[in-house]
Structure formats: C-alpha cells, structure tokens
Chain A
C-alpha cells in the first residue's frame, strides 16, 4: 500500500450524489460533491470552509466511512475508504458533534467505556484513557452524570473525548466548537495545535473564520460541492480578496482629504472618522496596487501620524470567493 505517502488524506475526483424519493416516488438527486480533489499532508491541520450545504459534512462522512462516494475515490493513510473501510476506521476518529449520537440514559463515563469496548480497547486501558480524556475536555466532574442531563456544550466535549478514545493518527472534526461558549471554545481550540504537535493529522470544518485562520495550516473553501480555493490562510487572503487596505492617521484633519484620495486611480472606497484630535482614514484599494507614495503626497509627510498597509481578513477573502 502507499501508506508511506506524505499525504494522510487524498481525494481524487470525489463525488457524491444523494438520491431520495418523494412520497409519489419521484426521484430527486442532489449532487453534494463534484469532482473534489484534496490532499492533506500528514501532521497538518486542514480547514474545510464553505457555506451551508457546500458539502463539508458529506466530505467528513465519506472520509470516516459512514458514506460511500458515488464517484472518484478517497484514501486515508493510503487505505481506500470504500474497499478498506476497516483499516480506515482503525486509524481515524471522527467528531460529528450535535445533540445526537450519544447514549442519554447512561453516564458520560459509561458512554466512553462502551465505545472503548467496541473498539477492542482492553478494560484497564479503557478506564485510564476515559479518565484522562474526560479530564482533558473538562468533564471529569460530570463523568458520573447521565448524558441526557448534559448541556449542549458538555455533549460537544464528550463527542470530542470519544473521538480521541482510540488515539487515532487522523482526526475528522465537523464543526467542533459549535454550541460551546467562547471560553470553552477557546479551550477546545487549544487542543488542536496540541494534537497536531503529537503528529496527528486533523481535518476540521468550521464557519468561524478566525478559528480557521488561527488553527489551520491549509484551508480549502468549497462551494456547492466544488473546490473554490485552497492554500494557506495567508495565500487565500492575498489571492482571493481583490482589495488591499491602507489605514492612516492624520495629525491635522482636513475634510477634503477623503475625496482627494478617492480620486486616485485604483482606490475603491475611503472611510474617514475622527479619532480625538486626529483623523483616521481607511482606504480600500484594488489588490496588488501600491498607492502609499501617492497617498503620502496628498496628505503630506509631516502630517502623517501613522500609516499601515494590511491584508484583508480571511472573512473578507471568503466572502469574495463565495460571491
């Protein structure tokens, strides 16, 4: 097998069509993924972004063998998700999150023990790992409580602990921080680099741009089942937002400044606000243009308190891609 390839996950022309029938027997097909090509290097954190219905969950389900592709193929650590599902399952953990998928009538600890037994972990190791993991996700105190009495965030934590139970080299997380309060979400985000430093490969989907920006080495944006962009967060920001931003603070405010800068070629928008005795100007310009000199000329060198050129945020880039 190509198990020693540098990629932990490879999708080649991956496609998935869902067929459903209406009550009258009319067939309806939804093409959730179209010829998706992805490569996730071992040990990296890969973010999958896209609007609702883009096919993120579908991708995660295919990679965790819950769903078969209808075309193309996908490999995890060199194992085909369809033909070698068993090996894939042994080497991956998946965290689907949400309210479902846990046994409500038994405790968090018992849920862990059940899945440990299912995964052939011997009972002594199972106890130890359960204790460690519940501690790690902050559920140690509620380990003995029936899961139906857990809050949404507690369930989410239990999902994560379960996903880590087998200590898998590859982890798939579908919106891991959804439903968790900001402090808790921050805490959980801290695990991602921690897990990555243990050499795990992580694929996560998220709607939080800041989360993706902070955690991921590589980001792929998919839209309607197709790959729209892939690269490091920095690359995506630069390549796909067709604007650059210059922010400057002016010593002696002058109302006409905004208009004068806007007249420059390649400037798309200028915002002007008063900041105490100063005037703050935010200039959006076409990407790739460097107008610093011209702006300085208009404002006057001695009149500039500060000037920074910055990249747009990932969010600004994302919106540009999806539109």
Chain B
C-alpha cells in the first residue's frame, strides 16, 4: 500500500507538467472561475429562462472532469513519449495498481477545484447555501470525482495509443460539457443523446449535486448516486482491460518506441 502511494506520488511529480505554480493555480482555480463567469453572463445575455444557479452549479461541478481529463491524459501521454512506458511495463509491477496510480494524485485536484469554485460562487455571485444538505453535497462530489477519474484514466489509455493529449482532452471535455447536463438540461437534448449522457460520468452526480442545494437528502437522490458510482466502476474496469490489451498489442508489434502504435 505504501508502495502504491510512492508510485502514485512520483509518477504524478514526474509526468504532470502543469505541476508548477502558474499552471496549477491557473488550471485548478482560475479556469473554473472564468467558465462560471462566462456562462453566467452568457445566460443572462441570452435571457435564458433558467436561473443563474443552474449554470453556476453546473460549471462548478464541471471543473472536476476538466482538471482530471487534462491532467491524467497528459501524464499518460508523457509516459509514452519519454520512453519510460517500456520500463514500467517491463517491470513486474502490478498492472491494476499501475493503472490506478496514474489517477490517485489527480483525484484531490478534482475536489479542490469544485470546492474553490463553490467558494467563489458564494463570495462573488451570492450562491445560496441556506437550504444545502451537506451530506448529499459531499457524497455527490466524491462520487463524481471518482467516476471522472476513472473516465479520465480510460481516456488516458487512448492518449498512450494516439500519442496525443490535447485533441483527446478537448474532445472528451467537450463531450462532457454538452452531454452531461451541466449547461444544457438533458431534457433539451434530442432523444438518443439523452441516453449517451447516462453512460457518461458526472450526469447523475451533478443532478444529485444540484439537488443538495435544494435541501435533498442523500436517500432521495440515491438512484442517481448509485448510478454515478456504477458508471465510475465501469470506466475503471473498462480502462483497465483496455490497458491490458494495449500492453499486449504493443509487445506484439514492438511499438513502445515508434511513433505510431
């Protein structure tokens, strides 16, 4: 267990290129603030019938997958391009732990960013905390941070295969902003896209998260919370299986050091 944390910590220090003060503060704290402000203003400008709380909470929650996706895919990408992947996979290291260790240290970032977004909304936008059910809030945030970590780890394996992280992160985070109901209510999406939202992380978590601010107890949104957990576990298992497949395939093709896998 200690080794798992040493591994997680060092892989994070070694491969997370945003781990310097300007990038870290920018991406973990400033980007969400900008997004929240931007959407709030757009919503007002467009005379949206939805109240501003809908956007503020949606974007605060969305800051979690944002930092997780961009952070984790870049770590996987750099593992490949620096040539350390061959050494990691040539070791007797446990594959399940290797897979998760890429996300351990990012998970807290997902929690920090949503927390600071909420603080910002409280201090500057007057987000109303009076009806808040704290238990629902904490549980929903933990669950969607978990499912977004698992989702990002899964996307991260594609970053290894495709040797790219910018396009991938942009695509994945774009999909989430469109289809998880953070800015566009799911009912407003055309029929089948509604279903897509349900197999993405965050969709159910954010519903529970919003309900928390209306005072809903965890039991009343239990199905959403369980669904969010299920989505997280599914991406975890899927990503891990995909990782094993990529490893076997790379050994077959001799592709650890070539530009195209």
Q: Interface of A with B (CB < 8 Å)? A: 16, 18-20, 58, 61, 64-68, 86, 89-90, 94, 96, 98, 100-106, 110-111, 113-115, 117-123, 162, 166
Contact = CB atoms under 8 A, between A and B. Distances in A.
The 9 residue pairs across chains A and B that have the minimum distance between CB atoms: A100-B83, A103-B14, A118-B93, A117-B3, A114-B10, A117-B6, A89-B92, A101-B83, A117-B7
A117 B14 contact: no
23 contacts: A18-B253, A19-B253, A66-B256, A67-B254, A89-B91, A101-B83, A101-B86, A102-B82, A102-B84, A103-B10, A103-B15, A104-B82, A105-B14, A110-B13, A113-B6, A114-B14, A115-B87, A117-B2, A118-B3, A118-B93, A118-B98, A120-B93, A120-B94
A104 B10 CA distance: 12
A122 B251 contact: no
A163 to B, nearest CB: 10
A166 B15 CA distance: 24
Given A67-B254, A114-B7, A106 B87 contact: no
B170 interface: no
Interface residues of B, number: 32
Contacts of A104: 14, 82
A64 B10 contact: no
Contact of A66 (B86, B94, B98): B86
B6 A66 contact: no
Contact of A89 (B4, B7, B90, B257): B90
Q: Which of A19, A101, A123, A166 has the most CB of B within 10 A?
A: A101
A66 B91 contact: no
B73 interface: no
A18 B254 contact: yes
Contacts of A100: 82-84, 257
Residue of A102, A111, A114 ringed by the most chain B CB atoms within 10 A: A114
A123 B86 contact: no
B92 A86 contact: yes
Nearest to B258: A20
B63 to A, nearest CB: 25
A98 B73 CA distance: 25
B196 interface: no
